[in-house]
Amino acid sequence: MFPSLDILKSYNCLGERHLEDGTLLIGHAPHIAPQAWLHCIYPPLSDKELCDLENELNESMPDSYRLFLKNTNGLNVFNTTFNLYGLRKNYKRDVVSVWQPFDILTPNRLERPGNAKRNFLFIGSYNWDGSLLYIDRNFGNVHVCNRDDSTSLFQWANFDEMLDSEIKRVVTLFDDKGKTYNEDKSTLPF
């Protein structure tokens, strides 16, 4: 469904682990930490979970992001260099529960930038500086903004274009072992 995810799966030469809940960990990365993985692809949400999530958000999701969550409940690329949010099902602190997406409810309900319009759905972030990604529900385009100011700094025409181009771009920042080429270089798309 999302061909760019296959690029992440190419790192399975470094190891791959399937968790009981369906989470796929790709690219064991002991250079980061003993139990670190480069990429996490989370199991899809059911229709009921999606409906419950939309009820929690008090908004319907754009079709593009709804489809994404029906295929994978969020994503972490290169150990959170680039993240797409999903439904965090619990906050337990055990070995298995730690492998969950960043919660989409947090930036949309608790840590929303003050100038964010109602039609903005915050869907992801970059760990470089905490920049956020959002979909403008009115137009379907995806934007990058600062974590405390929703003024658009960069945009893509739609979610699929953003996902494809960002995975392809972020991969170029790392070598075949998942080590960054230049730790001082911004990982942002602008």
- What residues in the chain have per-residue pLDDT under 70? 1, 94-97
* pTM of the predicted model over 0.85: yes
Q: In what order do the strands lie in the sheet with 132-136?
A: 16-18, 24-28, 37-41, 75-77, 82-84, 120-126, 132-136, 142-146, 149-156
pLDDT of amino acid 67:
96
pLDDT of amino acid 1:
62
pLDDT of amino acid 5:
87
The class that CATH gives domain 5-171 is alpha beta
pLDDT of amino acid 131:
98
